[in-house]
Amino acid sequence: MALNPDELAAVIARDIPPYSYVNLGIGRPTRVADHLTPGSGVVLHTENGMLNMGPAAAGEQIDTDLTNAGKQPVTELPGASYFHHADSFMMMRGGHLDVCVLGAFQVATNGDLANWHTGEADAIPAVGGAMDLAIGARQVFVLMSLFDKQGRPKLVPQCTQPLTGLACVSRVYTELAVFDVGPGGAVVRDTFGITVDELRERLDVPLAAL
């Protein structure tokens, strides 16, 4: 059975190495914060200037001055710190993040990423910090649906939409499967309610399997 967004976020949380410094992109990637286990040592970084962010805030926990980059209210963990936006981007660009989790419109099997503009005339571009994260983080995980609203694959031989970064993505998490991508192409790590052969029938890319 295909995974729902929270189940998929939990899969990603389990795959993040302990004691990693991690940035979660706007949108579905923010759900990963709610599934990190206490004691994992993972430190969440936000591009708006916070280290050691906790899970989403609710009820009396909500502080309107304490948000993630997507303006969602969040909690803070012991030892949390705050800093200037420019310092946050220096951390992103300087190679200080172990992992970032981003959304995407397309990912190519060699790891190219397209996630800031669909290329359509009426689309609203959203540059944000994705380009900085794509080149600055040691590993880039992508959380996305495997197909778009028209049923077209988003894991592709070559991106046709404007690129965010070249050969930067290492792993792609979707509701149907998890893929490693890179110079050797796409490798299926895990599947959810579908077989590798069925994936091969629906995708236009060669697939290897672990």
Between the CA of residue 178 and those of 4, 70, 79, 174, what are the distances in Å?
14, 25, 33, 6
| Main-chain dihedrals φ then ψ at residue 155, nearest 5 degrees | -95, 115
Tokens 């502080």 found at = 63
Which residues are identified as catalytic? 47
Q: Report the phi/psi class of residue 42: left, alpha or beta, with left for phi > 0 and alpha for psi in -120 to 50.
A: beta
pTM listed for this prediction: 0.95
Tens-level pLDDT at each residue, the chain (210 residues): 899 999 999 999 999 999 999 999 999 999 999 999 989 999 999 999 999 999 999 999 999 999 998 899 999 999 999 999 999 999 999 999 999 999 999 999 999 999 988 777 777 777 778 999 999 999 999 999 999 999 999 999 999 999 999 999 999 999 999 999 999 999 999 999 999 999 999 999 999 998
**Beta bridge pairs of residue 102:** 142
